[in-house]
Amino acid sequence: MNSYITRHATTFVNVSAILALFIIGVHIIFLVLIFGVDLNYFYGLDYQFHLDGEYNISAIFSSLMLALSAYLLTLIYFKTEQSKRNKYWLVLAFLFSFLAADELLSFHEQLILPLRSYFELTGYLYFSWVLAGMLLVLIVLLSSLSFLRSLPRYFFKRFLIAGLIYLTGVIGMEMIGAKEAYDSGYIYGWVATKERGVTYAIIVTIEETLEICGILYFNSLLAQYLKKYSPEKGDKTND
């Protein structure tokens, strides 16, 4: 099974990209129907494709993409040349496994009310879990600097770009959405997107699309790295 995924990692990434386009497209279609045509009842199907929903098709898909990241990171450690092995691949695999679980189960949202109440947060920090998120990003970045610098320049630059795309969505756009949510009044769940209006819906769409694009790009880079440095690789390209 491992060798099969090693050989076909790029195919898995390409299939996930097609599925991502489909899910994002359906999400946008429902938003157009809701805000443009004023249709509001779809027997719950709209929520299944809502990008900011929980326990729905979109959340499961995002979780699976992050789980694929974790698996590819694990394969890179065990399947690439001995000279390219670094235990930090396994650290990242653990981190992405946690992110996959969090995407589905929303552990981070349990931090919102305690942090918001304790620090009396409003506006851009209304979704107060971003404080913990920024701290985690700082810790990961500082602890991974030597590892990142050891990578071939091609992958070093592109891993940073993928991370920037993802973090722009998961933290940057989340803070913009928090400000809009605070200004419009806090309403929990899918109803929130409808009740808060089209501006919040657009912000959420941009946020989640950036997250998906960041992970897709990251996974494509992992597939390239695995193909290039696995024992059964073909001709190498220049670093």
- Check pLDDT > 80 for residue 85: no
Q: How far apart are the first and last CA of the chain?
A: 29
Average pLDDT over residues 90-111: 94
Pair of tokens at residue 58: 């979109």
Q: How far apart are CA 96 and CA 64, in angstroms?
A: 10
What confidence score (pLDDT) does residue 53 get?
Answer: 86
Q: What is the pTM of this model?
A: 0.90
Q: How far apart are CA 140 and CA 198, in angstroms?
A: 35
Per-residue pLDDT tens digits for 221-239: 999 998 888 766 544 444 4
- Check pLDDT > 90 for residue 179: yes
Q: How far apart are CA 203 and CA 178, in angstroms?
A: 10
Q: Which of 79-83, 176-180, 220-224 has the lowest mean pLDDT?
A: 79-83
**Per-state percent for the chain, helix, strand, coil, to nearest 5:** 80, 0, 20
Sorted by sequence, the CB contacts under 8 Å of residue 226 that are 6+ apart come out as: 6, 9, 72, 75, 76, 79, 80
- Check pLDDT > 80 for residue 196: no
Pair of tokens at residue 95: 């981190």
Assign 29 a pLDDT band (cuts: 50, 70, 90): very high
- DSSP annotation of 39 reads -
Q: How far apart are CA 211 and CA 205, in angstroms?
A: 10
Cα-based angle 106, 109, 115 (whole degrees, multiple of 5): 155
Per-residue pLDDT tens digits for 96-106: 999 999 999 98
Neighbours of 150 (CB within 10 A): 11
